[in-house]
Homo-oligomer: A and B are copies of this chain.
Amino acid sequence: MSGQQRTRVDTVFDGIFDLILSGEIPLGGVVNEATLAERFKVSRGPVREAVKALQGRGLIVKEPYFKARVVDLDVKDMIEIFQLRESVEGMSVKLATRAMSDESMNRLLHDFEQAGGNGRVLDLHVRIAKECGNRRIESLLCDELYYLLRLYRARSGSTPGRHDNASAEHWQILRGMKSRDAELAESLMRAHIARATAALQRLLDTDTANANAPAPAQPRRERKESEA
């Protein structure tokens, strides 16, 4: 009675996803149905459905009869995502602070003492989202936004100079959660993400300033997808 039947669509979905995350298909790159079908040894049908699903998840953009392309994330997109995260993750940590059992809380704290800030930055955010008890918020954060974040960071490293502060802010949030002060934890989380947003905003400002003066910015011409 094991449920997961893993149809070919799922396989192709994960396959394309990996190709995008690994950068084999670059951001903004073309997604060719026939090529992918041959690569995964399936017909074009499953590929089409997988692409449709990726499209629904926002990783691929496409218009009828036009080539599908991987989403091309710029700083402006990231700011929009961070504004959304600021609100949703605030709620996420508030709900988690109220919903988590004492043992879950202790386990969370223990894991992060162990890691000592080594783990990837998103780990705490994922962990909180999974504990908040609201499946829709969990899905929004874990299944949609965090993938886009990973995609963006894979291309252009996370904003410099943030990492040291971020770790301290994470510990503040954890302390707020431990003391069961849901509103405090929410405020801290929102401030935490708002600071990152501000960093992105500064990056955008300098970028546009640079883009205005020298103006070598070639419009992104079609990037050929290199086949392996």
Query: A residues within 8 Å of B by Cβ?
Result: 3-7, 10, 45, 48-49, 52-53, 55-57, 63-65, 77, 80-81, 83-84, 86-88, 90-91, 95, 134-137, 140
A89–B64 Cα distance when bound, in Å, is 32
Tell me whether B3 and A80 are in contact (CB under 8 A): no
Q: Which residue of chain B has the shortest Cβ distance to A50 in the bound complex?
A: B52
CB distance from A100 to the nearest CB of B (A): 16
**CB-CB under 8 A for A137 and B84, given A48-B49, A52-B56, A56-B52:** yes
Which B residues are CB-close (under 8 A) to A45?
A: 45
Say which residue of B7, B65, B83 sits within 8 Å of A137 (CB atoms).
B83
Report whether over half of chain A's contact residues are helix, strand or loop; otherwise say mixed: helix
A134–B48 Cα distance when bound, in Å, is 29
Which B residues are CB-close (under 8 A) to A83?
A: 91, 95, 134, 137
Question: How many of these chains are in the complex?
Answer: 2
Tell me whether B6 and A84 are in contact (CB under 8 A): no
A3–B63 Cα distance when bound, in Å, is 8
**CB-CB under 8 A for A134 and B84, given A6-B64, A63-B4, A64-B4:** yes
Q: What 9 A-B pairs have minimum CB-CB distances, sorted nearest first?
A: A56-B56, A87-B91, A5-B64, A87-B87, A7-B64, A80-B136, A80-B134, A52-B52, A49-B52
- With A56-B57, A86-B91 known, 13 other A-B pairs at CB within 8 A are A3-B63, A5-B64, A7-B64, A48-B49, A52-B53, A80-B135, A81-B136, A83-B91, A83-B95, A84-B136, A84-B140, A87-B91, A88-B88
Which B residues are CB-close (under 8 A) to A6?
A: 64
Which B residues are CB-close (under 8 A) to A3?
A: 63
Which B residues are CB-close (under 8 A) to A91?
A: 83-84, 86-87
Which B residues are CB-close (under 8 A) to A63?
A: 3-5
CB distance from A89 to the nearest CB of B (A): 9
A94–B136 Cα distance when bound, in Å, is 22
Which B residues are CB-close (under 8 A) to A88?
A: 84, 87-88
